[in-house]
Amino acid sequence: MLCGALIEWCLGLFAVLLALAPPQAFASIVFTAEAILYISPFLIVSVVLAASVKATGLDRLIAVVFSGRQAPVIVAAAAFGALSPFCSCGVVPIIAALLASGVPLAPVMAFWIASPLMDPEMFVLMAPVMGLEFTVAKTLSALSIGLVAGFATHALTSRGVFADPLKAFTVSCGGCAGPGLDDGPNVKWAFWREDERRALFGAEARTSGWFLFKWLTLAFAIESLMVAYVPAEAIAQYLGGDSLWAIPAAVIVGVPAYLNGYAAIPTVGALVDMGMAPGAGLAFMVAGGVTSIPAAMAVFALVKRPVFLWYLALGLSGSLVVGIAYQAYV
């Protein structure tokens, strides 16, 4: 039911735009198509990876490994997230596969939170624009927020909070549908040699890809309206100076505003040069990276409401803390 509703929402949104603002309707369609095209390589890689993990049976082995001592696993997950090339939307099918296979929520959350904030390519692109100090600060912020998210989530899950975090409809509509394999640690790397595993790979890839395509199409369409009518650059210009409220305001603006890591670099760089507080600039980039509309909608579609609200709380509080800390440092 939700799958069909998503399609209806997308079509309804574009129909309203065609009726009320035809030029914006065309601009939104182009914006959405370009955004999907831009992010498609990351999504394809993540969907193929998630489907491969499922088809090989590696997900059960990963679940066993991740169920060991949580401290080193959380540290490793946060570090890998901070260095991985996946955006917050691209990790969704991987996260779904891991959670469905029984991987604890704590390391998954550490990876999920840290992943969109930094990667090697972003580091190289950001350093000449924002400066090495700011770039290192954002890298450390990604790692720190990931660690805090992981250990805080572990403290809650060890007390029975967030049991069964995946939404029930995800199995029938989203990223975890398809045939399963018999129980047991029978990992087959060359899964394409067996009919059952090939079928599982195809089913997982189709359901994960379609799940993300529907949600991201709606999310990017909404984002196009924000860019058109509530430009982040115009709002962020009011966040300059050393005002006590500059950093909290940057977090509030950054939470709904979509600024992917690459698009944010020249925008925030110019704003800092114009007088925006460096701490506010960092908070703005971190908040936007973790809780952008496409990312938030993907998380909302995947997990139950308490986990979704916890994800938002981690993104908001983490960006606020790192912004204040960096501003105090500089």
- Contact assessment for residue 118 and residue 71, using Cβ atoms and an 8 Å cutoff: no
Report which of residues 168 and 2 the model is more confident about: 168
CA dist., res. 148 & res. 131, Å (int):
26
Structure confidence by residue, pLDDT tens digits, 264-300: 676 677 677 767 788 888 888 888 777 776 667 778 8
Q: List, in sequence order, every residue forming a beta bridge with 166; answer none if it has no partner.
A: 303
pLDDT at 19: 80
pLDDT at 181: 47
Structure confidence by residue, pLDDT tens digits, 64-78: 666 668 888 899 888
Residues in the chain: 330
Domain boundaries, the chain: 2-329
pTM value surpassing 0.85: no
